[in-house]
C-alpha cells in the first residue's frame, strides 16, 4: 500500500479506528482537528503512548521510502522539462513543489539514487527497520565517486549495523555514522589521505584577550590536525581536568571529611576545565625541553588484516596470504573514540611510539586476553573500553571512559571474565541491569542486545529481535524491489 493513515493493533483492537485518530477522518478544520488530537494524546495511558509513538516512527520511515521512490522518478523522468512552469532543474522543481531548501533537495535526490541502486536499503527503510538518519549516512557514502560503487559488497552487513547500532546525529557517539566513516576511509584511502593532508595544512590555533562578545577574558580556538592529534590532546586535557578535580576533592576532605557532599567542592566543572587548560600552558612553559608532565596513552584500534597490509605495503613483511577475508564493514582503523585514521598513521604510531597489538576477529570482538576472575582489571578492562565509545545500555551516552565493565553473560550464570564476554556499562545502568534482572547477548555480527526480565528485547522502533531475522528475507525482498523498479521504469 502507499503511505497513509496509520493503524496499530493493541489487544486485538485497531487503534486507528478509535480515539483521537478518528478525528483525522472527520473532515474538520485543521485547528479543530489538532485541538482534539492534543486532547486525545493527553488521554492515552503510558502503554498506548509508547505504542503510538513507535508506530508513527515506523510509518514516517515508510513515508520517507515512498518519497525517495517518487523523487527518483521525478529525477529520472526529468519532470521539470515536461511541465509548463519553467523550472530549469530537478532541484528547482523540488524547491517549488515541496518548499524545501537546496540542501534538503540535494539530500532527497541523494537518497533516491541510493535506493534505486541498492533496493535493499529502500526495503529496510520501507519496513521501518532503519531510520532516515542512517539512510542519509549510507547515501552520503554512496555518493562518493571513488568508492560508492563498492558499497554493494558490504550493504547487507551495514544494514544490520544500521538496525542495531545507536545513532545520534548531533553527538560523536553516533555509532553507525562512525561505522560508515570508517568504511569510507578504508575503501577510499586516496580520498582519506587527501582529507588528512588538507586538515594538516589547515591546522591553526589562536589565543586572544577578548571573547566573541567583546568582554575581557581568554578566547582560545584551534582546528585542523589529525585524529591522532585530537585524541592525544583530548587525553592530555582530560588528565589535567582529573588532576584539578583530585585537588578539589583532597581539599574538601581535609576541611570537611571524606563523606562531605560534592556541593562543598571549591570549583565547579567549568571552572576546573578552564584551570586545567591554564595548567597545561604553565606546565609547558615550566618544561622548556617539553618533557611530558603526565603519562599519556593514546590507543588506536586496527584489525589484523589492515595492519599487516600496511606493513606489507611499506616492505616490512611479505604480503599476508593466510588471513581470512573480512568484510569492509567490520574492518577497524580508528582512534579509541571512533575517529577514522589512515593505516599509514597506525604504522607510524607503531614505529615511533609504544603500541600494544590488539587483534580483532571477524565479529569485531577483541580476542580473549583475560584471566579467570570476578572483576575486569588491567589490560582486559582497557581493551573492552576500546570496543564501544559509550555505555552499552540502549540510549545511554555516558562515555566508556567513565563506565564499569559488565559481563554479557553474568558471572553467577557461568559467564567468563574475558574480553569476549565484557562490555562497558555505566555504574547506574550496571546496577539497573542486576536490579531488574536484565540480560545481554551478542549477535553473530557483533551487536549487543539487551533483554528485559520477561524476555522481550530492548530495541528501537522497527528493529527485529535476532530470532526474527531471516538471512534470505533481505535478498528475496530486494529482488522483488528490483522487479518493481523495472516496472516503474518501463515506458508506457
Beta-bridge partners for 14: 9
> What pLDDT is recorded for position 451?
86
Higher pLDDT: 59 or 336? It is 59
Q: How far apart are the C-alpha atoms of 154 and 166, rounded to whole Å?
A: 19
> What pLDDT is recorded for position 484?
44
Task: Give per-residue pLDDT as tens, 414-456.
Answer: 556 555 666 788 888 888 888 888 888 776 656 678 888 888 8
pLDDT at 75 over 80: yes
Which residues touch 113 (CB under 8 Å, ≥6 apart)?
72, 75, 139, 142, 143
Q: How far apart are the C-alpha atoms of 492 and 480, rounded to whole Å?
A: 21
Quick check: pTM over 0.75? Answer: no
Looking from the CA of 358 toward its CB, the CA atoms found within 13 Å total 29
Higher pLDDT: 448 or 170? It is 448
pLDDT at 67 over 90: yes
Rg (alpha carbons) of the chain, rounded to whole number = 27
Average pLDDT over residues 319-331: 68
400-406 long-range contacts, Cβ below 8 Å, gap at least 24? 400/424, 401/238, 402/426, 403/427, 403/430, 404/430, 405/376, 405/381, 406/430, 406/433, 406/440
**Nearest alpha carbon to residue 456 among 396, 392, 383, 394:** 394
pLDDT at 230 over 50: yes
Average pLDDT over residues 304-323: 78
Q: How far apart are the C-alpha atoms of 6 and 348, rounded to whole Å?
A: 55
pLDDT at 468 over 90: no
Locate the domains of the chain by residue range: 45-187, 226-286, 300-352, 378-461
> What pLDDT is recorded for position 480?
43
Amino acid at each position: 500500500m502507499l503511505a497513509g493513515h496509520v493503524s496499530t493493533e493493541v489487544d486485538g483492537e485497531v487503534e486507528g479506528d478509535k480515539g483521537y485518530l478518528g478525528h483525522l477522518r472527520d473532515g474538520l478544520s485543521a485547528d479543530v482537528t489538532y485541538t482534539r488530537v492534543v486532547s486525545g494524546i493527553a488521554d492515552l495511558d503510558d502503554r498506548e503512548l509508547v505504542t503510538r509513538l513507535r508506530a508513527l516512527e515506523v510509518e514516517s520511515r515508510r513515508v520517507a521510502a515512498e518519497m525517495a521512490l517518487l523523487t527518483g522518478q521525478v529525477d529520472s523522468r526529468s519532470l521539470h522539462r515536461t511541465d509548463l512552469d519553467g523550472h530549469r532543474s530537478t532541484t528547482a522543481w523540488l524547491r517549488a513543489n515541496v518548499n524545501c531548501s537546496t540542501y534538503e533537495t540535494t539530500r532527497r535526490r541523494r537518497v533516491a539514487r541510493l535506493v534505486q541502486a541498492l533496493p535493499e536499503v529502500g526495503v529496510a527503510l520501507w519496513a521501518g527497520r532503519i531510520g532516515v538518519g542512517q539512510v542519509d549516512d549510507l547515501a552520503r557514502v554512496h555518493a562518493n565517486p571513488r568508492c560508492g560503487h563498492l558499497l554493494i559488497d558490504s550493504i547487507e552487513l551495514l544494514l544490520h549495523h544500521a538496525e542495531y547500532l545507536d545513532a545520534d546525529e548531533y553527538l560523536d557517539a553516533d555509532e553507525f555514522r562512525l561505522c560508515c566513516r570508517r568504511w569510507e576511509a578504508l575503501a577510499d584511502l586516496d580520498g582519506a589521505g587527501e582529507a588528512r593532508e588538507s586538515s594538516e595544512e589547515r591546522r591553526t590555533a589562536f589565543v586572544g584577550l577578548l571573547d566573541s562578545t567583546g568582554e575581557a577574558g581568554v578566547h582560545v580556538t584551534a582546528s585542523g590536525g589529525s585524529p591522532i592529534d585530537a585524541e592525544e590532546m583530548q587525553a592530555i586535557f582530560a588528565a589535567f581536568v582529573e588532576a584539578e578535580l583530585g585537588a578539589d576533592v583532597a581539599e574538601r576532605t581535609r576541611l570537611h571529611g571524606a563523606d562531605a557532599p560534592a556541593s562543598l567542592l571549591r570549583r565547579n566543572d567549568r571552572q576546573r576545565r578552564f584551570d586545567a587548560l591554564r595548567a597545561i600552558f604553565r606546565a609547558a612553559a615550566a618544561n622548556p625541553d617539553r618533557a611530558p608532565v603526565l603519562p599519556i596513552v593514546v590507543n588506536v584500534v586496527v584489525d589484523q588484516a589492515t595492519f599487516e597490509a600496511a606493513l606489507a605495503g611499506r616492505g616490512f613483511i611479505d604480503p599476508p596470504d593466510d588471513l581470512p577475508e573480512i568484510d569492509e564493514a567490520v574492518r577497524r582503523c580508528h582512534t579509541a573514540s571512533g575517529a577514522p585514521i589512515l593505516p599509514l598513521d597506525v604504522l607510524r604510531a607503531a614505529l615511533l611510539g609504544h603500541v600494544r597489538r590488539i587483534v580483532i576477529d571477524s565479529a569485531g570482538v577483541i580476542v580473549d586476553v583475560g584471566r579467570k576472575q570476578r572483576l575486569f582489571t588491567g589490560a582486559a578492562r582497557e581493551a573492552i573500553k576500546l570496543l564501544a565509545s559509550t555505555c552499552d545500555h540502549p540510549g545511554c551516552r555516558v562515555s566508556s571512559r567513565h563506565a564499569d565493565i559488565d559481563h554479557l553473560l553474568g558471572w553467577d550464570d557461568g559467564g567468563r571474565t574475558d574480553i569476549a564476554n565484557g562490555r562497558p556499562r555505566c555504574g547506574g545502568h550496571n546496577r539497573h541491569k542486576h536490579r531488574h534482572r536484565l540480560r545481554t547477548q551478542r549477535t553473530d555480527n557483533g551487536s549487543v542486545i539487551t533483554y528485559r526480565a520477561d524476555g522481550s528485547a530492548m530495541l528501537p522502533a522497527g528493529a527485529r529481535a535476532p530470532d526474527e531475522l531471516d538471512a534470505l528475507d533481505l535478498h528475496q525482498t530486494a529482488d522483488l524491489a528490483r522487479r518493481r523498479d523495472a516496472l516503474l521504469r518501463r515506458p508506457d
